[in-house]
Amino acid sequence: MPSVSRITIGDMLDYTAARFPQNEALVYADRDLRYTWAQLKNVCEQLARGLMALGVNRGEHIAIWATNVPQWPIVQFGSAKMGAVLVTVNTHYKLFELEYLLKHADITTLLLIGGTKEANYLEMIYELCPELKHSRPGRLNAARLPRLKNVIFLGEEEHPGMFTWSRVLEAGEQVSPAELAARQASLSPDDCVNMQYTSGTTGFPKGVMLTHSNLIGNAISIAECLAFTSRDRLCIPVPMFHCFGCVLGTLTCLVSGATMVPLEAFNPTKVLETVQQEKCTALHGVPTMFITELEVLEKQPYDVSSLRTGIMAGAPCPIEVMKQVVERMNMREIVITYGQTEAAPGITMTRTHDPLEVRVSTVGRALPGVEVKIVDPETGEAVPPGVQGEICARGYNVMKGYYKMPEATAAAVDREGWLHTGDLGVMDERGYVKITGRLKDMIIRGGENIYPREIEEFLYTHPKVKDVQVVGVPSEKYGEEVMAFICLKEGQQASEEEIKQFCQGKIARYKIPQYVRFVTSYPTTANGKVQKYKLREQAIRELNLEKAAMVETA
């Protein structure tokens, strides 16, 4: 394996294609689309030359707004080969968010699909840039987005002002392979190659600048922890615009020579069909994805015997769900990865050989080459094993910074290079970390610190509970009270009193939820993270706690 510090994504693609030219690299089972590594390298180079023909320079920012379509990984690897910075756009964005990102990130080229069931991307871009309808492709001059010049449709439909996918590939004939090779050779592993905007659950989203070394290093570490080889086949139903899809997914396959088997959008039945048809050995997902897959398996059997490993991440992983995935989906080597976009994204990870009790109760230990410490949030001093504090990380994986936000960067990464995650945890003597909550998620009731994760894990043991999210809500008397939003298993019914009785004598009285609401779903970001602040806002409205909320913020 090449040195983490001396290789770019483009060079990594060349290396893998040379080692495994005839192995399957990219498979879309429902389209019967299959690329070997040699074929994938060729089409990525054709795209890279096409972007150069359009005038895209080294370090220029281009954006992709698409679900996991086949062009996605081609754009990811191809743009990296010719030195552009690929900015990923959340597939759930609406007009306001899209305009903010395209402006803030200084995007010159946008690659997009037509849209999703929920949103028409073409309508939005034409509303944002009405000039596009009367422009020649590549000659856009938009009042609201003056830097945007090229719009590329990821398909063959003709749309006013846009290049088609095949036209960009054809334009690549104008640039010689030698010109591309020279461009690729000029790149540094320390160049920013990818920008991902944090989900923005508070304030404006921030553009996280990630380098070749950040991403390749993290992918190599992840692949080692998964014991990935060129014989593995990874089903990728998580979105590629997020690190889970485009680092733990596509790049982890790139560095190991494993086969990528993406789904354009998550559907639990299609996931299981794909695993069965393609004999996938690994599967990634957030806990809610695995919960729905388990529900489908209850009704209809699928052959998942080929599965060995995979990652559950993106949200706290309930112990009961983890155990069922191991037993019913044959994922005996499933692991947990903890991290955040600012860390490219992995910080800690369990290993496939860790005992199950370790894999269900911790988020593992530091990845190779990454340092992790727990500090007192007040003093910044490291705390002893077993003592709770803020999780901090340092190493090759820490971002270059937030784009055009030096103050926010300085607040996140200190002068010694430590990334302050804002997550609370404890570390044992062996270096294994348990997440106990977020600094801002902590509930303080009458002076007692309460960590939602602890209550959630307890309520998961109730036989009727499928999923649970605990938040703090304002209280004039105690400052905050505990509230549980519960999804029940199919066909089950329960009362608020039943849930409270279940807690009696089993957890401290002050931790027992004062309020319980039964729901069928939670507000989430596009990558599956539950937006607890929205649950809190909903609770304040439903419980008429506006007065208490005003006292809280006074």
Among 207, 222, 250, which residue terminates a domain?
A: 207
69 located within any domain = yes
Distance of CA 461 to the CA centre of its chain: 28
Question: What is the C-alpha separation between 261 and 280, in angstroms, rounded?
Answer: 8
190 located within any domain = yes
Among 148, 179, 207, which residue terminates a domain?
A: 207
Predicted pLDDT of residue 6: 78
Reading the block at residue 177, the tokens are 């392979």
What's the pLDDT tens digit per position in 110-160?
Answer: 999 999 998 899 999 999 999 999 999 999 999 999 999 999 999 999 999
Question: What is the C-alpha separation between 272 and 295, in angstroms, rounded?
Answer: 11
Rounded to 5°, angle at Cα 89 from 86 and 92:
165
- State whether the Cα torsion 142-143-148-151 is positive or negative: negative
Predicted pLDDT of residue 241: 95
Which residue in this structure is represented by tokens 């004939």? 173
CA dihedral 29, 34, 36, 42 (to 10 degrees): -130
The H or E element containing residue 328 is helix 319-328
Reading the block at residue 199, the tokens are 């989900």
Q: What is the CATH number of the domain that holds 545?
A: 3.30.300.30
Q: Write out the residue range of the structural domain in which residue 154 sits.
A: 4-22+34-207
What's the pLDDT tens digit per position in 34-69?
Answer: 999 999 999 999 999 999 999 999 999 999 999 999
The answer to whether residues 461 and 320 touch, using CB atoms and an 8 Å cutoff, is yes
414 located within any domain = no
The bridge status of strand 163-164 relative to strand 150-153 is parallel
272 located within any domain = no
Buried residues in 256-266 as b, exposed as e (16+ CB within 10 A) = bbbbbbbbbeb
Three-state secondary structure call for residue 244: helix
245 located within any domain = no
Predicted pLDDT of residue 4: 57
Predicted pLDDT of residue 468: 96
Predicted pLDDT of residue 60: 98
Q: How long, in residues, is the chain?
A: 554
Reading the block at residue 203, the tokens are 């304030």
What are the CA-CA distances from residue 171 to residues 47, 164, 312, 425 (Å)?
9, 11, 41, 52
Predicted pLDDT of residue 3: 52
201 located within any domain = yes
Q: What is the CATH number of the domain that holds 43?
A: 3.40.50.12780
Predicted pLDDT of residue 320: 86
18 located within any domain = yes
What are the CA-CA distances from residue 46 to residues 78, 81, 169, 192 (Å)?
8, 10, 6, 22
Q: What is the DSSP letter of 426?
A: E
Number of domains within the chain: 2
**Which residues, given as ranges, of the chain have pLDDT below 70?**
1-5, 199-203, 447, 550-554
Among 151, 186, 207, which residue terminates a domain?
A: 207
- State whether the Cα torsion 311-317-319-325 is positive or negative: negative
Question: What is the C-alpha separation between 423 and 408, in angstroms, rounded?
Answer: 17
What's the pLDDT tens digit per position in 414-441?
Answer: 999 999 998 899 999 999 999 987 777 7
The answer to whether residues 191 and 172 touch, using CB atoms and an 8 Å cutoff, is no
Residues 6+ apart with CB under 8 A from 9: 76, 77, 80, 81, 193, 212, 215, 216, 251, 254
415 located within any domain = no
CA atoms within 13 A on the CB side of 191: 24
